[in-house]
Chain A
Amino acid sequence: MCLAIPMRVESVEGHLARCQAKGVFRDVSLFMLQDEPVAVGDYVMVHVGYAIQKVAEAEARSAWELYDQLLAANGPGDSPPS
């Protein structure tokens, strides 16, 4: 449950962002990142629907690679992915 997934910010409206990871779109709250600017094209670590940190694109890509491997190894778990 403490696993955060990197997502790319596609649009921002107030504290709400439309984010995307590998073709999957989610509404993500930026409320916990309200003290720093978040713009379209940024990458954020998302946990239970909330962005907890901005990250570089390279970090996002290596995490996606890892989660692909974990999913391939274990199948999707009961927990929601965000």
Chain B
Amino acid sequence: MTTARDWLDRIRALKLDRPVKIMNVCGGHERSITSAGLRGALPEAIRLIPGPGCPVCVCPEEDVYQAMQLALQDRVILVAFGDMLRVPVNVPKGEVRSLVEAQAAGADVRPIASPTEARRIALENPDRPVVFFAAGFETTTAPVAAMLAEGAPSNLYILLSGRLTWPAVAMLLESEAPGFDALVAPGHVSTVMGPEEWRFVVEAHGLPAAVAGFTPESLLAAFWSVLRQIGSGARFLDNCYPEVARPGGNKTAQRMLDTTLEVVDANWRGIGVIPKSGYALRPAYAAHDARLHFPDHSAPGRRRAGEMPPGCDCARVVLGKLMPSECRLYGRACTPRTPVGPCMVSDEGACRIWWSGGVREPAKAD
């Protein structure tokens, strides 16, 4: 097996005539890169950019607000993956600003680790409505779809904020300044959806791309692949995680996604609407759609609705336009203990990952 050291030697031996920016779009990748210290180990000309890889970070502020109101006003049992509970909404000082604060205020908010737990809680509480606030990319949305396809109790409703990864990359590539020269595609999204989903990066935009797993070896293999493509002029979608991300992906999971959910235009917090980038329940599953069943608490005119918190640069961090430590708040007002923006809240947020990885100093933007 080729070791991380071998891959580093191969990469260092490449002649790069200009700086190369490689974007990843997966919090798991960013965590491995940061934890293994790959940035420091690679030649300076290679810049690793954390891109849109955190579904919690882009979950619409309005959806978090709605989830809070369902728990506070409609007295539902609100269940969500633990990452969502501390994501702040924009409300005047002193008001409840996150699900965890709603819980402290007496609302029944419960963290869960699996859609099967949402079902179990609904079955155990047949007299109460249970709302599963589900944010996530394809890998996480597919199990939500599977749970629906298998059969959800009638008192279980889904507040779905599922997002697709590739449309955000497509949006960046179609913009005037994408900000990267090559893509490392996410391993577990590809496991479910199939690596082929990323062909458009190569075919429509002429950028090298490689699917990577989560070990330093797999990530370095992917970096080497795209760097070599840049050097040689060849362009193809490489797969450096073939043991898990197999051709075609998991067809059963895709069928469940397609049966229960449809792909719709969707809002990304602080970024705006990205065409065909979100999931919504199909009409056949309307009986489980929290958006149809409960009142809309969106409070027209609420100040900064939908936006990132004041001063927070999470939106630009998510798009790879700004490195986490270049944010004005990073390490000053915003730390994991007192997070201002979702990128410091979520385990998949680039700010949180950098902070855990030991980056404690705010940087000057270059």
Contacts and interface: CB of A to CB of B under 8 A. Distances in A.
Contact of A66 (B142, B214, B253): B214
B252 interface: yes
A47 B186 CA distance: 14
Contacts of B32: 66, 70
Nearest to A27: B116
B81 A31 contact: no
Given A47-B139, A47-B188, A49-B115, A2 B27 contact: yes
A55 interface: yes
B116 A2 contact: no
B315 to A, nearest CB: 19
Given A1-B81, A2-B348, A79-B81, A50 B188 contact: no
Contacts of A33: 250, 252
Contacts of B150: 15, 29, 31
The interface centre, meaning the residue of B31, B114, B256, B357 with most chain A CB atoms within 10 A of its CB, is: B114
Range, interface on chain B: 35 or more
B348 A63 contact: no
A4 B188 contact: yes
Contacts, number: 144
B35 A32 contact: no
Given A35-B251, A49-B114, A73 B357 contact: yes
B116 A35 contact: no
A11 interface: no
A49 B147 CA distance: 11
A45 to B, nearest CB: 6
A82 B246 contact: no
Nearest to B86: A78
A20 interface: no
B289 interface: no
A35 B136 contact: no
B62 interface: no
Q: Is the interface of A mostly helix, strand, loop or mixed?
A: mixed
Range, interface on chain A: 35 or more
11 contacts: A2-B188, A2-B348, A3-B27, A52-B139, A52-B253, A62-B215, A63-B213, A66-B32, A79-B82, A79-B83, A82-B113
A29 B116 contact: yes
A13 B31 CA distance: 35
Interface string B170-191: 0000000000000000101101
A55 B244 contact: yes
A48 B84 CA distance: 14
Interface in A25-82: 27, 29, 31-35, 45, 47-50, 52-53, 55-56, 58-59, 62-63, 65-66, 69-70, 73-75, 77-82
Nearest to A74: B356
B214 A3 contact: yes
Contacts of B348: 1-2, 79
B243 A82 contact: no
A1 B27 contact: yes
Contacts of A80: 81-82, 111-114
A29 to B, nearest CB: 6
Contacts of A70: 31-32, 35
B26 interface: yes
Contacts of B243: 55-56, 58-59
B28 A2 contact: yes
B155 interface: no
B89 interface: no
A2 B244 contact: no
B191 A45 contact: yes
